[in-house]
């Protein structure tokens, strides 16, 4: 165990600041999320038609999410968030694309 916890705290602080300065000097910018950078959030709700009463199944939602993810990855969006939200009669696909403008 350390004899002086102040030395450990100061050395951790110096190392942390050094890593921050190094990452900024290299030119790496932190990736900002939808809340800080702005972007687009789309909520998709599947609708059953009279011909297909059970169209909005969990398997179909997962297939739609996979297709959306492939399309979003193809345009090169950093940190996309594509999720499903299910509960009761409500099924949604939520697509969040930071840095994309409508």
pLDDT digits (tens, 9 = 90+) for 35-85: 777 888 899 988 777 776 666 778 888 899 999 999 998 988 878 899 988
- With residue 60 as reference, give the H or E element that holds it: helix 58-75
String of b and e for 80-94 (b: at least 16 CB within 10 Å)? Answer: bebeeeeeeeebebe
Instruction: Name the pTM for this structure.
Output: 0.61
CA Rg, the chain, in Å? Answer: 22
The percentage of residues in the chain with a pLDDT greater than 90, rounded to a whole number, is 23
Question: Any bridge partners for residue 91, and if so which?
Answer: 86
Helix (H) or strand (E) holding 86: strand 81-87
């Amino acid at each position: 165990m350390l004899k002086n916890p102040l030395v450990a705290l100061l050395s951790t602080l110096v190392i942390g600041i050094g890593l921050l300065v190094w990452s900024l000097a290299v030119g790496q910018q932190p990736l900002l999320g939808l809340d800080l950078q702005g972007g687009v959030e789309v909520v998709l709700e599947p609708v059953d038609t009279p011909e297909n009463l059970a169209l909005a199944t969990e398997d179909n939602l997962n297939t739609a999410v996979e297709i959306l993810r492939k399309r979003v990855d193809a345009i090169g969006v950093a940190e996309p968030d594509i999720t499903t939200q299910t509960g009761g009669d409500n099924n949604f696909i939520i697509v969040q694309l930071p840095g994309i403008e409508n």
